[in-house]
Amino acid sequence: MEKVYTVCGMCTVRCPAEAWVEGGRIVALQGNAHVPAMAGGLCPRGAAGTALLADGERPQTPLIREGARGEGRWRSVSWDEALDHVADRLKAVMAAHGPRSVALSDRGGPFRDMHRALLRGLGSPNYVNHDAGCARNVQHANLSLTGLGRKDVAYDYPHARHVVLQLRNVFEAVDVQEVHNLMSALENGCRLSVIDIRTSVSATKAHDFFMVRPGSDYAFNLAVIHVLIKERLYKGAYAAKHIQDLPALAAFIEPNTPEWPAGETGVEADRLRRFVRRLAEAAPAVIWHPGWMAARYLHSFYVCRSIYIINALLGAYGAKGGLPLVNKPADVGRKGLKAFVDLFPAPKEPRADGVGWRYNHFDKGPGLAHLLYRAMETDDPYPVKAYIAYRHDPLMGFPEPDRLRRIFDRLDLLVAVTFSWSDTAWYADVVLPLSTYLERESIIACKNALKPFFFVRQRAVQPCYDTRADWQIVGGLARRLGLPQLDFDTIDDIWRFQLEGTGVAPEDFAATGMVPLAEAPIYRDPEKLKFKTPSGKIEIVSELLEKNGIVSLKPYEPPRPPPQGMFRLTFGRCALHTQGHTVNNALLAEQMAENALWINARAAQALGIGDGDRVEVSQNGYKETIKAYVTDGMHPEAVFVVHGFGHTLPVESRARGKGLADNKFMKGGLDLWDPAGGAIACQEQFVAVRKAEN
Ligand SMILES: Nc1nc2c(c(=O)[nH]1)N[C@H]1C(S)=C(S)[C@@H](COP(=O)(O)OP(=O)(O)OC[C@H]3O[C@@H](n4cnc5c(=O)[nH]c(N)nc54)[C@H](O)[C@@H]3O)O[C@H]1N2
Ligand SMILES: Nc1nc2c(c(=O)[nH]1)N[C@H]1C(S)=C(S)[C@@H](COP(=O)(O)OP(=O)(O)OC[C@H]3O[C@@H](n4cnc5c(=O)[nH]c(N)nc54)[C@H](O)[C@@H]3O)O[C@H]1N2
Ligand code: SF4
Ligand SMILES: [Mo]
């Protein structure tokens, strides 16, 4: 038996893993034993990775569309033909409309350097990722206060004394190491408080659970800030040194007493005060998680901002047991990986999504996908005619899939690079099938952390079907498009390119799959913290925001109550599936084949709905049916589903026709987005629910 170090590919967390291989077959798959927090093994989705390998229901050869878009008539072709076809069509689009008319989107993550470089090499600025439907508000919130991105701070669970989860369900929206670290912290006496609209698994493990009215979190948080300041519970010396504009904050929260939001949030004032005092006792070893999937409301940016402000007042930014700053290679005196994107100059053209010129307060990196789609729809500011969805399924991950299909109909070329079927791949002109993560190696990646490291994914087994690794797909396109810099014969050549000057060699990954860049975790001296703002402090009033007409301190506006007889549609994750892309996995479909509609028991009773009944969910004439899960653990104003279900593709027999697709109940959703944080606002939607007729 041979052990191969891999990186799990069943979700974007990318846990370090090891595959045990015998006779060219995987016999065991588990967490990388050299990483203590992976000792509990992979999560259920990670363990189900083996079912992906020989899955006959994934694209098995390159495919070129024969019939109309979405009709499902494909011609199976050779790689040469597929890559020639894509390259020729890209050249034609660029000849007619310029390189900027080519766009590429992906799912973020550590392995995107080569395909981003391909787009840049072509001369297009139009790279976007999924994040407009995920964590953009969190990212922008941290940037607006500290100049740091959301991943520039770590969550130091092992040393935390109080963890608060708001808009974050650690025990079901899983990152294995985070789960492990939080569990150990709880065993060591750390307190857990959860603020949610329903009793998630995390809520059931909390010392304190606050069920708040959906969309009222900002009111809750302003009251927390009020108590911290009025009762002088914040870290005074830290604030004096590191926080700018505290008087402005103090004046702003004057009216936001805990008594004030009780009617808004449903949380009793005394309970809130006790919670804040407890929190202050544990400071600065406190983590109030800023959220992850925060693309929910039109003002979610301010919720995330208020969370970061609370962390700042508690002195948690930069603290051991709080949110210490991560180290990049340069911070520990090492050279980082050589980047493929740096082979090409940054394109000077303005971005089609308007980020960086129409919208100056947004982070340019991954732009905003929904605004790119608007540009495709309107040709404003210019036509975008070719689109590569690289590990991305916007037809499932964004609102209004029918409108998006009409938008994609305006493209001359839609390419999907994917290892499974998805609505977007099904609608594409060309499908380039990627080998599953167990059948491919990836470029080396760097993880910035308290103890930063390089890591690599090795190929565990040979591909079952006629699929290829990313570097082969990108290299094949690059060769045909006049970018030989990205065309390599072997993965070893790529790794050597990346590692040049770092003092690390590909062989160094043999022992553990990783190469640490420091001996031990390194915490910065909290006294010497410098933030990346003009003042070097945490800036409560952001000049960048204000200059762009956006207030730094926004008064609370109550969420719109649901119209009579309707519910706010909310959603989230479960431990058994990843977004929409594991629902057809043979092992996971067996565990959980469909989602259910969480509905408050009293609300259900009023509608004559019993637990397990089939109900009809509708919005603007569109309807689907789903099984009801009747529970006291759901706020009465909302219903909840696990996202990712309601598949319709004939090639997905295990997922087809099971459960409900939340993103189809989001009328006008592509135009509903948070002007300050940029992310779409998926939960500003209401649905009607009634018992289904048989
Ligand atoms: N198993 C599994 N793990 C995953 C993923 C997966 O698909 N499956 N996806 C990964 C990805 S991409 C992401 S972004 C993360 C997401 O990680 P999280 O953001 O933690 O996950 P969610 O379940 O989307 O949402 C968290 C909680 O927010 C609650 N919520 C909804 N509306 C409100 C509200 O108005 N106020 C409050 N206070 N709470 C509200 C939901 O009930 C839910 O329990 O998970 C990652 N991990
Ligand atoms: N209504 C609604 N919308 C949402 C959400 C929600 O909860 N409700 N969640 C939001 C969140 S948090 C996110 S992160 C996005 C997720 O949206 P996406 O990023 O689009 O979702 P995924 O399903 O993770 O991945 C997309 C596709 O990539 C393929 N894929 C997976 N791994 C790989 C890989 O390694 N390489 C390649 N090339 N392809 C791969 C998958 O098979 C899948 O078809 O959706 C967002 N949109
Ligand atoms: S959290 Fe689970 S699915 Fe995601 S990378 Fe880790 S083991 Fe794989
Ligand atoms: Mo996400």
> Which tokens is 211 given?
């069920």
Cα of 106 vs centre of ligand 2, distance in Å, is 9
Taking the CA of 13 as reference, the closest ligand is: 3
What Rg, from alpha-carbon coordinates, does the chain have?
A: 25
What are the residue ranges of CATH 3.40.50.740 in the chain?
A: 63-133+354-438+466-498
Distance CA 4, CA 507 (A): 13
Cα of 167 vs centre of ligand 1, distance in Å, is 6
Nearest-atom index, ligand 3, CA of 31: 7
> Which tokens is 461 given?
């087994």
pLDDT of residue 364: 87
Residue located nearest, by CA, to atom 5 of ligand 3: 14
Distance CA 68, CA 72 (A): 8
The residue written with tokens 């279900």 in the block is 645
Residue 457 has pLDDT above 80, yes or no: yes
Number of neighbouring beta carbons within 10 Å of residue 220: 26
- Element (H or E) spanning 86, and its range? helix 79-97
> Which tokens is 65 given?
């569309």
Cα of 459 vs centre of ligand 2, distance in Å, is 23
At position 636, the amino acid (one-letter code) is P
Assign 19 a pLDDT band (cuts: 50, 70, 90).
very high
Nearest-atom index, ligand 1, CA of 130: 12
pLDDT of residue 357: 97
pLDDT of residue 611: 98
Residue 107 has pLDDT above 90, yes or no: yes
Nearest-atom index, ligand 2, CA of 292: 12
Residue located nearest, by CA, to atom 10 of ligand 1: 173
Domain 63-133+354-438+466-498 CATH (choose: 3.40.50.740, 1.10.3720.10, 3.40.50.720, 3.30.70.260):
3.40.50.740
- Across the chain, mean pLDDT equals 97
Cα of 573 vs centre of ligand 4, distance in Å, is 10
Per-position DSSP letters for 283-349, written without gaps between them:
TTSEEEE--S----STTHHHHHHHHHHHHHHTT-BT-TTSBPBPB-GGGGT---PPPSGGGSPPP-S
What is the percent of the chain where pLDDT is above 70? 100
Q: Is 393 in the pocket of ligand 2 (CB under 6 A)?
A: yes
What is the percent of the chain where pLDDT is above 90? 98
pLDDT of residue 39: 83
325 within 8 A of 240, measured Cβ to Cβ: no
Q: How far apart are the first and last CA of the chain?
A: 54
Q: Are strands 286-289 and 162-166 parallel, antiparallel or unpaired?
A: parallel
Alpha helices in 548-673 (DSSP H): 586-591, 601-606
Residue located nearest, by CA, to atom 40 of ligand 2: 391
326 within 8 A of 521, measured Cβ to Cβ: no
By C-alpha distance, which of 118, 139, 145, 155 is closest to 37? 155
Distance CA 556, CA 339 (A): 43
The pLDDT tens digits of the residues spanning 413-452 come to: 999 999 999 999 999 999 999 999 999 999 999 999 999 9
Assign 113 a pLDDT band (cuts: 50, 70, 90).
very high
Assign 330 a pLDDT band (cuts: 50, 70, 90).
very high
pLDDT of residue 332: 97
Distance CA 135, CA 114 (A): 23
The pLDDT tens digits of the residues spanning 262-321 come to: 999 999 999 999 999 999 999 999 999 999 999 999 999 999 999 999 999 999 999 999
Assign 527 a pLDDT band (cuts: 50, 70, 90).
confident
Cα of 272 vs centre of ligand 1, distance in Å, is 23
> Which tokens is 164 given?
């608060």
Q: Are strands 430-433 and 413-418 parallel, antiparallel or unpaired?
A: parallel
In CATH, what class is 566-691? mainly beta
What are the residue ranges of CATH 2.40.40.20 in the chain?
A: 566-691
Output the ligand 1 site: residues, CB below 6 A: 11-12, 134, 166-169, 173-174, 195-198, 200, 212, 214-215, 217, 292-293, 296, 570, 572-573, 575, 577-579, 640, 683
The pLDDT tens digits of the residues spanning 619-656 come to: 999 999 999 999 999 999 999 999 999 999 999 999 99
Nearest-atom index, ligand 2, CA of 129: 19
Distance CA 92, CA 386 (A): 10
Distance CA 397, CA 165 (A): 24
Residue 40 has pLDDT above 90, yes or no: no
pLDDT of residue 526: 86
Cα of 468 vs centre of ligand 3, distance in Å, is 22
Mean pLDDT of 584-613: 98
Q: 411-426 burial string, b = 16+ CB within 10 Å, else e? A: bbbbbbbbbbbbbbbb
Alpha helices in 98-200 (DSSP H): 113-122, 136-146, 176-187
The alpha carbon dihedral of 496, 498, 499, 505 has a sign of negative
Assign 565 a pLDDT band (cuts: 50, 70, 90).
confident
At the topology level, CATH places domain 155-324+529-547 in Dimethylsulfoxide Reductase; domain 2 (3.40.228)
Taking the CA of 6 as reference, the closest ligand is: 3
